[in-house]
A and B are shown apart, each in its own frame.
Chain A
Amino acid sequence: GAVVSQHPSWVICKSGTSVKIECRSLDFQATTMFWYRQFPKQSLMLMATSNEGSKATYEQGVEKDKFLINHASLTLSTLTVTSAHPEDSSFYICSARDYSFGELFFGEGSRLTVL
């Protein structure tokens, strides 16, 4: 079946630094990928829709200059948390839909802790 890989799984950084998270579709092409954030005991919240070759579409309230998304190829999307602060600490998950399977696959998630 289709697989979405996310890296890194865990990252700890100092406040003010930038962190890049990668999301790859391993055996299918994904023109669209999605980025979510999940705080403890809360539901997944869609942050943005990443479109290959064009600008991402951000959800209301999500700062596009803080959460930079790049979808340069059909198998890779990256999320960069710029100038991270402790309140950005969260579980970040990406997903991509494989239309041949009709299923949405999720990456393993990246747990960010900002000190």
Chain B
Amino acid sequence: RKEVEQDPGPFNVPEGATVAFNCTYSNSASQSFFWYRQDCRKEPKLLMSVYSSGNEDGRFTAQLNRASQYISLLIRDSKLSDSATYLCVVPQRDGNNRLAFGKGNQVVVIP
């Protein structure tokens, strides 16, 4: 099983709608998780950190399901500016502070 798996999509979302996607991880010992946003030809930028059951920031909600080993990201009231790739990032097992990246969920918000 890959360390981090994401469905690349694309997820085509009408403006104003809600979209949610999951990221599964293999390391059951992982304690922290991150969602990064990456715009085309740009570097990833931190969107949200998840340390316990979940986190919420405005229209964005991240939830952690330890039993099933996945984290989810939900975007409410989608804006055109939300179009981007959302990367799931999980610390790797080797204890060297390296992070494993998923392939990303590509979100396209449609007017």
**What residues make up the interface of A, taking CB atoms closer than 8 Å to B?**
6, 32, 34, 42-46, 49, 57, 91, 93, 97, 102-109, 111
Q: Is the interface of A mostly helix, strand, loop or mixed?
A: strand
Taking the nearest CB of chain B, how far is it from the CB of A95, in angstroms?
A: 8
**What residues make up the interface of B, taking CB atoms closer than 8 Å to A?**
34, 41-46, 49, 87, 89, 96-99, 101-104
Contact A57:B96 (CB < 8 A) given known A43-B101, A44-B101: yes
Contact A49:B46 (CB < 8 A) given known A43-B87, A104-B34: no
Contact A104 B99 (CB under 8 A): yes
Bound-state Cα–Cα, A57 to B98, Å? 11
Contact A108 B34 (CB under 8 A): no
Q: In the complex, which residue of chain A has the Cβ closest to the Cβ of B46?
A: A103
Bound-state Cα–Cα, A57 to B99, Å? 14
Candidates A32, A45, A109; contact of B43 at CB < 8 Å = A109
